[in-house]
Structure 1
Amino acid sequence: MIDDSPPPLNPNESNGKANVDLLLKPSEEDLKIWPHSFEFRLRVSLSADGNLTLLSRIRNINGKPFSFSIAYHTYFAISDISEVRVEGLETLDYLDNLCQKERFTEQGDALTFESEVDRVYLSSSDVVAVFDHKRKRTLVIRKEGLPDVVVWNPWEKKSKSLVDFGDEEYKQMLCVDGAAIEKPITLKPGEEWTGRLELSIVPSS
């Protein structure tokens, strides 16, 4: 009997984590819309201490180069949008999607929220932190291969216009996404891109 199942992970690769591997390939319908063949492999890992890691590999199996942008849409549950701040984005340039993608520079020591925010922070450091004062915890986002950070909260008016979004749910959510948007990634035939995002929670005062 031939066993064609994938070999088990090397113990050094699993590092005590529970893993699931996902593979996405384009369908015939997809290729009609975007005529490029690719493989998108995603490994989701959860450690015993609750750290979540997303490892993406995108390979060009097409006969010609293609370019793409990517963002991990991480919707964080928070206590109250008015009680959180984001650090690690200070002094960075950002594109403001509420102002036709006009470019600005972040002036504050930390990002706080009093109205709708939809920004792409450019060339950020590989660590960004979301401090939730009410819950006394900090969400730490570590990233590799993802130079940009998207920050989004729809606020009251837009929440009411989103069909799958409760009118008041903007108060308990915040998106802080590792991304590659300003400079799309280009892959030659056979080339592969790797991106990594790790989410962890640590107690804070």
Structure 2
Amino acid sequence: MLQFGNFGSLEQHGFVRNRIWSIDLDPPPISVNSSSNKAVIDLIYKPTDDDLKIWPRSFELRLRVALARGGDLTLTVRVRNTDTKPLSFTIALHTYFSVSDSSEVRIEGLETLDYLDNLEHKERFTEQGDAMTFDGEVDRFYLSTPTKLAIIDHQKKRTFVLRKEGLPDAVVWNPWDKKARALPDFGDEEYKDMVCVGAAVLEKPITLKPSEEWKGRQALSHVPSSYFSGRLDPVKVLG
């Protein structure tokens, strides 16, 4: 999550994802409109002495998880610099979606965009298809992505809609068969049932002055999909 990517001795997918968080007893206020019909929990993480040994930066990381009655999920992330020096960081929300068959999934919104391919030493490429699809291992950082992406599951005729603010980039990942067998916490066949698409800040790290705060948001919803020539109905889903 925090410091997502390859940063020397730090974990590739961010060290905060493997830490124990606390309930935030002094969370930011919730507006009346945003709190209606939602279950909300606020979490906070502050670096431990062990964290400061591997990444000597002082910060507060807050995460608000809001689940609406209809199933919409919103993640709001705040990072505040509590250090005396500027704080620079990258961040990603590594979101896994359950799908019927990863080889039949389309991601719309990434076409014509540049991406860094982690399977090719972060070489820069441009997406050539009319949608991003999976036919093998994928590990990419898409750059300057739109605020709305669609993950289309053809077999279930269901679309996940990802909306984001303050997170310009996107992570797309699926280990496929060979890598899945090599991952100790991943079933050999589970790559067929998932795709990972998450909002991120990767290309241009965020820099905060002392006491300054940054906020990003990712909202997830799912809707039935209708198709024309294999494409998502933009009026019903992406309007």
Q: Same fold (TM over 0.5)?
A: yes
Judging changes above 3 Å, is the alpha-carbon distance between structure 1 residues 21 and 7 closer, same or farther for their aligned structure 2 residues?
Answer: closer
State the 1:35 CA deviation: 1.4
1:12: Cα distance to partner?
Answer: 3.3
Mapping of residues 89-128 of structure 1, within 5 Å: 89-128=110-149
Q: Distance in 1 between matches of 2:146 and 2:167?
A: 10
Matched, 1:129 2:150: yes
Q: Please tell me the residue identity of whatever aligns with 1:159.
A: A
Of the three residues 70, 81, 88, the one matched with 2:102 is 81
* TM-score of the pair, normalised by structure 1: 0.94
4+ aligned runs moved over 6 Å, structure 1: 4-8
With a CA cutoff of 8 Å and minimum separation of 6, indicate the structure with the bigger relative contact order.
1
Matched residue type, 2:92: A
Matched, 1:176 2:192: no
Q: Which amino acid aligns with 2:205?
A: P
Q: Which runs of 5+ in 2 are unaligned?
A: 1-24, 227-239
Identity %: 66
Change (3 A) 1:5 1:27: closer
Inter-CA distance 83–5: structure 2 relative to 1 (3 Å threshold): closer
Q: CA deviation at 1:9?
A: 4.8
Q: Which runs of 5+ in 1 are unaligned?
A: none
**Secondary structure of residue in 2 paired with 1:32:** helix
Aligned to 2:206: 185
Deviations 1:171-194 (A, max 9, x none): 001000100011111111011010
Q: Partner of 1:25 in structure 2?
A: 46
**CA distance in 2: counterparts of 1:36 and 1:118, whole angstroms:** 28
Q: What's the counterpart of residue 63 of structure 1? A: 84
CA distance in 1, matches of 2:217, 2:183: 30
| Aligned AA (1:146) | L
Aligned length: 202
Does the 8 Å CA contact 2:138/2:173 hold for their aligned counterparts? Answer: yes
Describe the superposition over 1:12-33 as per-residue Cα deviations: whole angstroms up to 9, x where unpaired: 3413211000011111221122
Indicate how the Cα distance of structure 1 residues 7 and 139 shifts in structure 2: closer, same or farther if over 3 A, else same.
Answer: closer
Residue in 2 aligned with 1:204? 225
- In the superposition, the TM-score normalised over structure 2's length comes to 0.81
Which secondary structure state, in structure 2, belongs to the residue aligned with residue 152 of structure 1? strand
Structure 2 residue aligned with 1:164, among 171, 174, 185? 185
Q: Secondary structure at the match of 1:49?
A: coil
Bigger drift between 110-119 and 13-22 goes to 13-22
Compute the displacement of 1:8 (Å). 8.2
**Secondary structure of the equivalent of 1:30?**
helix
Q: Shift in Å at residue 154 of structure 1?
A: 0.4
Contact 2:27 2:42 in 1 (8 A): no
What SS does structure 1 have at the residue aligned with 2:53? Answer: helix
Change (3 A) 1:60 1:49: same
SS in 2 for 1:125: coil
